[in-house]
Amino acid sequence: MSPRLSRRSLLAASALLPLGLHRSTTAAPVAGPYRVGAFTVTPLRDGLFPLEPSMIPAADSAAGHALLKGAGLPANGPSPEPVNAFLIRRGERHWLLDAGCSTVLGPGFNRVTAALAAEGVRPNQVDTIWLSHLHADHAGGLLTPRRRARFANAELVLQDREVAYWSDAGARASAPAALRPMFDTAQAVLAAYPDRIRRISGESELAPGIHALPLPGHTPGHMGVLIADGSERLLIWGDIVHSRLLQMPHPDWTVIWDTDPAQAVATRRQIFDRAAMEGLNVTGMHLAARGRIERADAGYALR
Ligand SMILES: [Zn+2]
């Protein structure tokens, strides 16, 4: 998300939030933890982002407004969407997947560290952080307000294509204006963790039973994490959806932050189909629940 755009939208959107949603911003119950065999997966809620239909342009339509209204929201939005990181444990080991946005998107976020503390984990006890991608709502939390490394002992693990893209001056110059500020956060993160960036490529094993799953389109190196133990599996699919309400029934509806919208749609459809066929449990950074995918009418649903 563009910090400038998002901060402005956040202020505009929070003025529109009814009282009940304001309250839920600070007190929304967080689902989980989820058990996956011997693994425990705990969502860490950084905050709630007020998503406006203009951020999913096709949703700024009669069909989009009807979905919002049907869910008890104002027809013009916003729709409060979670921003999650995840703590994954097995025995004595623990790993962090993404880190929330810290203060990069304005006030109302920055709760990942407190959520970690509630799990008995201090930032300096985290040695490995997997990153779904380098957007500010996932990587901003790696920085202190002074843009230093918040996790003093952590190595960052991410797809080679992701590091290459955000380090590329040409990519920045040719990106739409709304996306350009994203490069600032991504580059600040890479600079704050010198010699502590581990690049992986494709479906690498991240830990025994845990694999990276490339899901390109939203960003070039966007990836999910597939956790498996015995017959139990959970896919944490990153930003495959930013709005369950709008994009599950309409997988072709893209967000303004997609680097390659056509590829983002193709990837979303592929992973929806695969998850439906394999009966995969899924959750994500902008989902408040875990569930299975089913085909529903012309689109899909999370049950
Ligand atoms: Zn995101």
Dump the DSSP string for 157-174.
Answer: EEEHHHHHHHT-HHHHHH
Distance from the CA of 223 to the center of ligand 1, in angstroms?
12
CATH number (domain holding residue 177): 3.60.15.10
Look at the block and give the residue holding tokens 């979303």: 268
Distance from the CA of 184 to the center of ligand 1, in angstroms?
16
Let me know if residue 8 belongs to a domain: yes
Q: How confident is the model at residue 265 (pLDDT cuts 50, 70, 90)?
A: very high
User: In DSSP terms, which residues pair with 3 in a beta bridge?
Assistant: none
User: In DSSP terms, which residues pair with 227 in a beta bridge?
Assistant: 210, 234
Query: How far is residue 62's CA from residue 69's CA, in Å, rounded to a whole number?
Result: 10
Query: How far is residue 51's CA from residue 77's CA, in Å, rounded to a whole number?
Result: 7
Let me know if residue 236 belongs to a domain: no
Let me know if residue 294 belongs to a domain: no
Three-state SS for 295?
Answer: strand
Three-state SS for 192?
Answer: helix
Determine the structural domain holding residue 43 and report its residue range. Answer: 3-20+31-228
Q: What is the mean pLDDT of the chain?
A: 91
Distance from the CA of 201 to the center of ligand 1, in angstroms?
21
Give per-residue burial for 80-118: e unless 16+ CB within 10 Å, then b.
Answer: bbbbbbbbbbbeeebbbbbbbbbebbbebbbbbbebbee
* pLDDT value of position 28: 57
The DSSP element (H or E) to which 100 belongs, if any, is none
Let me know if residue 43 belongs to a domain: yes
Of 275, 250, 227, the C-alpha closest to 59 is 250
Let me know if residue 156 belongs to a domain: yes
Q: How confident is the model at residue 134 (pLDDT cuts 50, 70, 90)?
A: very high
Query: Which amino acid does the sequence have at 92?
Result: E
Query: How far is residue 301's CA from residue 271's CA, in Å, rounded to a whole number?
Result: 13
Distance from the CA of 139 to the center of ligand 1, in angstroms?
9
Tens digits of per-residue pLDDT, 186-232? 999 999 999 999 999 999 999 999 999 999 999 999 999 999 999 99
Distance from the CA of 228 to the center of ligand 1, in angstroms?
24
Distance from the CA of 147 to the center of ligand 1, in angstroms?
20
Tens digits of per-residue pLDDT, 43-90? 999 999 999 999 999 999 999 999 999 999 999 999 999 999 999 999
Let me know if residue 210 belongs to a domain: yes
3-state secondary structure 118-146: HCCCCHHHCCEEECCCCCHHHHHHHECCC
Of 139, 138, 97, the C-alpha closest to 116 is 97
Let me know if residue 69 belongs to a domain: yes
Cα dihedral 199→176→249→162 (10° resolution) = 0
Q: How many domains does the chain have?
A: 1
Look at the block and give the residue holding tokens 């009940």: 20
Q: How confident is the model at residue 178 (pLDDT cuts 50, 70, 90)?
A: confident
Let me know if residue 154 belongs to a domain: yes
Distance from the CA of 166 to the center of ligand 1, in angstroms?
16
Distance from the CA of 240 to the center of ligand 1, in angstroms?
9
Distance from the CA of 5 to the center of ligand 1, in angstroms?
14
Tens digits of per-residue pLDDT, 5-51? 444 444 333 333 333 333 334 345 688 899 999 999 999 999 999 99
Distance from the CA of 218 to the center of ligand 1, in angstroms?
9
Distance from the CA of 202 to the center of ligand 1, in angstroms?
20
Query: How far is residue 164's CA from residue 216's CA, in Å, rounded to a whole number?
Result: 14
The environment of the single-atom ion ligand 1, i.e. residues with CB closer than 5 A, is 137, 239
